[in-house]
């Protein structure tokens, strides 16, 4: 098992080195950095939370003869957290957009065409 971890760590370090070398030698380093940032954000905000939450949501590891193992409805927690995160992100953005529309120059304030 130790050799598998060492091999995976070596492959990961090699992949990081390859990526950094490509960014350093690229004609368009900003495009490369944008791609790397997108991959990092996608991994940390989408893939990793799914990989961590899904075993609890589906009840992986739950034994029918041990009712105290994973006794709670774990699907509710991730949904509540995601709902709060989306509300915190969407509500202020919607308010800013509405305020920007109200303050656009050239818009009639009378409510209808003149």
pLDDT tens string 13-54: 999 899 888 888 888 888 888 888 888 888 888 888 778 777
Tokens for 82, please give them.
Answer: 């995601």
Which of 22-31, 52-61, 66-75, 104-113 holds the top average pLDDT?
Answer: 22-31
How far apart, in whole angstroms, are the C-alpha atoms of residue 64 and residue 28? Answer: 56
Residue 80 domain-assigned (yes or no) = yes
Measured from the Cβ of residue 36, the count of other Cβ atoms closer than 10 Å reads: 14
Nearest CA to 57 out of 80, 75, 72, 69 is that of: 75
Residue 86 domain-assigned (yes or no) = yes
Range of the domain at 52: 1-61
pTM of the model: 0.38
Tokens for 7, please give them.
Answer: 């091999």
Residue 109 domain-assigned (yes or no) = no
Residue 30 domain-assigned (yes or no) = yes
Q: How many domains does the structure of the chain reveal?
A: 2
DSSP-derived secondary structure letter, 62: -
Residue 112 domain-assigned (yes or no) = no
How far apart, in whole angstroms, are the C-alpha atoms of residue 30 and residue 35? Answer: 9
């Amino acid at each position: 098992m130790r050799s598998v971890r060492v091999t995976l760590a070596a492959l990961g370090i090699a992949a990081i080195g390859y990526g950094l070398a490509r960014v350093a030698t690229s004609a368009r380093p900003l495009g490369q950095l944008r791609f790397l940032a997108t991959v990092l954000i996608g991994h940390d905000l989408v893939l990793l939370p799914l990989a961590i939450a899904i075993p609890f949501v589906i009840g992986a590891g739950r034994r029918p003869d041990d009712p105290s193992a994973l006794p709670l409805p774990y699907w509710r927690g991730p949904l509540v957290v995601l709902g709060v995160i989306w509300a915190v992100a969407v509500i202020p953005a919607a308010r800013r957009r509405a305020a920007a529309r109200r303050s656009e120059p050239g818009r009639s304030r009378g409510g209808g065409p003149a």
